[in-house]
Amino acid sequence: MPAPLPRVSRYAPAVFFICGFVWDAVTLGRKIKPVDLFLLAAYLAGATVILVMLGRGAQFRGSQYLAAMLQFFFGGMFSALLIFYFLSSGGLGGYLVVLSLAALLIANEFLGNRYSELTLSWMLYTLSACMFFNFALAHLFRSINTFWFYLGTLIAVLLVLVLRRVSRHETATVVPSIAAVALLLVFHLFNLIPPVPLVKKQMLIAHDVRREGRGYVARIESPGWRIWRASSPTFHRSGNEAVYCFTSVFVPNGIRTTIRHRWARVNRDGEWVTMDVRPFAITGGREGGYRGYTLKQNVIPGRWRVTAESESGATIGFVEFRVVEGEADGRVVGL
């Protein structure tokens, strides 16, 4: 058989990455399962063992095979982390973190022969460990308190420091690992880290929302050709009619937390100004997501946005719409 064209083989990793991402997004679904956590923990444990063996390279043969195994473990971790953080992203900051993970995953396809240089390997290990513990501890302790993010980050740093000592590698340094952790902490300070394991299922604007049996019904304006939206981007307001925002969020079983709806509108200077913040409690476990809504009276015409936030202020999702005066041609839907 003729050898593949160099230009084609050069971009093959990126092509396979995109295909794998689409496949994982479909097969992993919209929630994190316990088996996913066990698999990621196995990847992390495998990477830990390989890093120690590479650090003591003089005592082991076939370091190139160890580097290939480490590439496999890193690829498995970054692939799943990318999906989980993508599903939980609801704002620009979260998507920037996801793009960074995507870049690391693609780079992983080209860096296999450099994993024996432990400075790089330890940095990637620290990043993946931090992001893994970010949602693994939330599942384990049934809480999404920000304390678990800091604890997970501390555990990851301690792990890499222990690896540095156990491996007895004299030339490698963990300074880039510490710098990467500092960058994650800055991202978290500005609420740029996606609020895993929370996943937005649905968010819409309605003229009325009420409980009916075990579900909800709402009167919405059709989004028309905008099939990616659950409701129209235009809200026709009649008289002193209230505006409702309905949100469903997947939360793992056993977790109780609070979601905030931040109502904001654009002022004359084109800036978003918060007009109200309405919280509501949610309980995890429902496959379709826990459902809740808030409403706002005296909504004046103009551009509006409702942002669903976690307790720490991280964006879960948002919906923008324009309020205009007029009669609505709404329809009733089950939620």
Looking at the fold, whether 241 and 132 belong to one and the same domain comes out as no
Show contacts of 20-24: CB within 8 Å, 24+ apart.
20/79, 21/79, 21/82, 21/83, 21/102, 24/79, 24/80, 24/82, 24/83
Domain membership of residue 1 (yes or no) is no
Distance, C-alpha 93 to centroid of its chain: 10
pTM of the model: 0.70
The structural domain count of the chain equals 2
Residue showing tokens 């990851």: 156
Residue 1: the pLDDT is: 46
Local confidence pLDDT in tens for the 335 residues of the chain:
444 444 544 555 455 545 555 555 555 545 566 777 888 888 889 888 888 887 776 445 556 677 777 777 877 777 777 777 776 666 555 566 666 666 665 665 555 455 556 777 888 888 888 888 887 888 788 777 788 888 989 998 998 888 878 876 666 778 888 888 888 888 888 777 777 777 777 888 998 888 887 788 888 888 888 777 878 889 998 888 899 999 888 777 777 888 899 999 999 888 999 999 998 888 766 665 678 889 998 888 999 999 988 887 888 888 899 999 888 777 877 77
228's tokens: 């990616």
Looking at the fold, whether 125 and 215 belong to one and the same domain comes out as no
Looking at the fold, whether 49 and 158 belong to one and the same domain comes out as yes
Give the CATH number of the domain where residue 297 resides.
Answer: 2.60.40.10
Exposed, middle or buried, 155 (CB in 10 Å: 0-12/13-18/19+)? middle
156's tokens: 């990851």
Residue 15 CB contacts under 8 Å (≥ 6 apart), including other chains: none
Looking at the fold, whether 227 and 176 belong to one and the same domain comes out as no
- Among residues 136, 158, 189, the one where a domain terminates is 189
- Among residues 139, 171, 189, the one where a domain terminates is 189
Distance, C-alpha 253 to centroid of its chain: 18
Rounded (10°) angle between helices 34-55 and 63-88: 150
Contact predicate 144/198, CB 8 Å: yes
Looking at the fold, whether 175 and 295 belong to one and the same domain comes out as no
Looking at the fold, whether 142 and 274 belong to one and the same domain comes out as no
Cα–Cα–Cα angle for 55, 58, 62, rounded to 5 degrees: 90
Looking at the fold, whether 131 and 30 belong to one and the same domain comes out as yes
254: left (phi over 0), alpha (psi -120 to 50) or beta: left
Domain membership of residue 194 (yes or no) is no
Residue 138: the pLDDT is: 80
Looking at the fold, whether 95 and 35 belong to one and the same domain comes out as yes
Sign of the C-alpha dihedral computed for residues 152, 158, 163 and 169 taken in this order: positive
Residue 92: the pLDDT is: 59
Residue 59: the pLDDT is: 47
E-strand ranges in 141-296 read 199-206, 208-212, 215-221, 234-237, 243-250, 256-266, 272-283, 290-296
For the residues of 117-175, what is the DSSP string, one character each? SHHHHHHHHHHHHHHHHHHHHHHHHT---THHHHHHHHHHHHHHHHHHHHHT-SS--SH
Strand partners, 307: 262, 318
- Segments forming the whole domain that contains residue 34: 6-189
Q: How many CB atoms lie within 10 A of CB 63?
A: 15
pLDDT in tens, 66-79: 777 777 787 777 77
Domain membership of residue 36 (yes or no) is yes
- Among residues 151, 168, 189, the one where a domain terminates is 189
Strand partners, 203: 247
List the one residue out of 133, 261, 258, 252 whose CA is nearest residue 193. Answer: 133
Exposed, middle or buried, 203 (CB in 10 Å: 0-12/13-18/19+)? buried
Looking at the fold, whether 179 and 234 belong to one and the same domain comes out as no
Distance, C-alpha 325 to centroid of its chain: 37
